Amino acid sequence: MPNISVILPVYNAERYLSLAVTSILAQTYRDFECVIVNDGSTDGSEAILRKLAADDSRIKLISRPNKGFLPTLAEAIAASSAPLIARMDADDISRPDRFAKQVAYLEQHPEVVVLGGAYELIDSEGRRLRTMHQPLDHETLVRTCLQGTTPLCHPLTMIRRDALDRVGGYDASTFPAEDLDLWLRLSEVGRLACLPDVLLDYRLHSGSISETKQARQIEAMHAVVARASARLNKTVDFKAGDGWRSTGASGKLTQLLKYGWWAWNSGETQTARAYGWQAVRAKPIDIRAWKLLLTAWRKSAPRHVNAPTVEYKEHEHGS
């Protein structure tokens, strides 16, 4: 029996799939199986997966018609065997030492039932946008969850199977806030934790759930937190500014401005300029687009990273 079962759902992910799976196979910690469920992809994902599985016996490939994201997760978990479950998505990139660091921490902290870490936000072209450092301790992580933020990056988590079984796994009725719901239920049977190390490149693109289903996701998050607060006998105030994302601003320009200012604050001048040009082309009469472009073009990027004094808060709606 391997020590880790990597759970990787796939649906029409041919553009990034090889890079994602290869980043798993290249882990310095090698005692794992990789359970991949191809959820009825209609692009070239199946051919890519068959080749990868033929070259590495640690891949367990399941292909069948489309059923959706959560049924696919449940099927992959049921087909796995290890005591530790590592989540991964088909468009992200795991750093080579991710598993080694997570396993070492969990061995030293048996009370922790789910472990996350820091991660880098990248765009569809793989360009760096910003680094996300999450709270490390259980109490702050739970409080952050109850304030409408998901501090544990879902495809970066490593979960103890026995704890996942105790809480009944994923609840399909909470989609697309199933991760927030799971972290809160797991927090009632064990401890949550994050590592300070950057362990994943998390890709944002137009097909991301956070970009395509934002209003539905926030509504589901409200319901999840309301249920958890009732179980925990806590009062939660659902107001913007406490972590709850606003649904008021959306669309292509908002996304371009958000990504551009993230890149600027991270010292990625060329990426900020690229998003400035895209913003101007998207809406040439909008002063905010010109502000991003001219700032990125005329000034040197800040030496600090993610400085709140220069972050363009108007376009910060969460990741």
Which residue's structure tokens are 């997966």? 49
Report in angstroms the alpha-carbon separations of 98 from 73, 84, 246.
21, 14, 33
> What is the reported pLDDT for 210?
54
> What is the reported pLDDT for 102?
98
Residue type present at position 318: G
> What is the reported pLDDT for 229?
84
Beta pairing partners, 114:
159, 192
Nearest of 136, 238, 153 to residue 196 by alpha carbon: 136
Q: First CA to last CA across the chain, in angstroms?
A: 36
pLDDT digits (tens, 9 = 90+) for 53-75: 999 999 999 999 999 999 999 99
> What is the reported pLDDT for 65?
96
> What is the reported pLDDT for 242?
44
Q: What is the pLDDT along the chain (319 residues), one digit of tens a residue?
A: 899 999 999 999 999 999 999 999 999 999 999 999 999 999 999 999 999 999 999 999 999 999 999 999 999 999 999 999 999 999 999 999 999 999 999 999 999 999 999 999 999 999 999 999 999 999 999 999 988 888 999 999 999 999 999 999 999 988 888 999 999 999 999 999 999 999 999 999 765 555 556 678 788 888 888 888 888 887 766 554 444 454 444 578 988 999 999 999 999 999 999 999 999 999 999 999 999 999 998 866 665 444 333 333 322 223 3
Cβ-based neighbour number of residue 136 at 10 Å: 16
Residue pair 90/16 in contact by the 8 Å Cβ criterion: yes
Q: Which residues contact 46 (CB under 8 A, 6 or more apart)?
A: 38, 63
Query: Peptide bond preceding 176: is omega within 30 degrees of 0, i.e. cis?
Result: yes
> What is the reported pLDDT for 147?
85
Q: How far is CA 70 from the centre of its chain?
A: 15
